[in-house]
Amino acid sequence: MKRTQRGFAIYTEFKDEYGKNIRVQMSSLATKRCVWIQNEVTEHMGEHLANAHLTAPMAKRVIKALQAFVDGRE
């Protein structure tokens, strides 16, 4: 598994359909276990990351939603 310069796990990293970088990485938040879902965004002033900061229960909701998509449920 890849790690950030500060040693945090990078669970996955890939480019989306528009060639933008997507990354799921462990957060450095000290008060609880969280993960970042990062999405590179292009605006008029350049590129930056749009982030979702998720706890484990929130990530489970995302997993459930993505599994429904993968299974073709609508």
pLDDT tens digits for 6-51?
A: 999 999 999 999 899 999 999 999 999 999 999 999 888 888 889 9
* Mean pLDDT confidence for 45-73: 93
Non-local (6+) Cβ contacts of 35 within 8 A are: 11, 24, 25, 26, 27, 53, 54, 59
Which residues sit opposite 53 in a β-bridge? 36
Overall domain count for the chain = 1
Do the beta carbons of residue 37 and residue 24 sit within 8 Å?
Answer: yes
For residue 64, what pLDDT is reported?
96
Q: What local confidence, expressed as pLDDT, does residue 26 receive?
A: 95
Note down the domain range covering 10: 2-70
What is the DSSP code string of 1-24?
Answer: -EE-TT--EEEEEEE-TTS-EEEE
Question: What is the value of pTM for the model shown?
Answer: 0.82
The band of 1, judged by pLDDT with boundaries at 50, 70 and 90, is confident
Supply 65's token pair: 């939603």
Q: What CATH number does the domain containing 60 carry?
A: 2.30.31
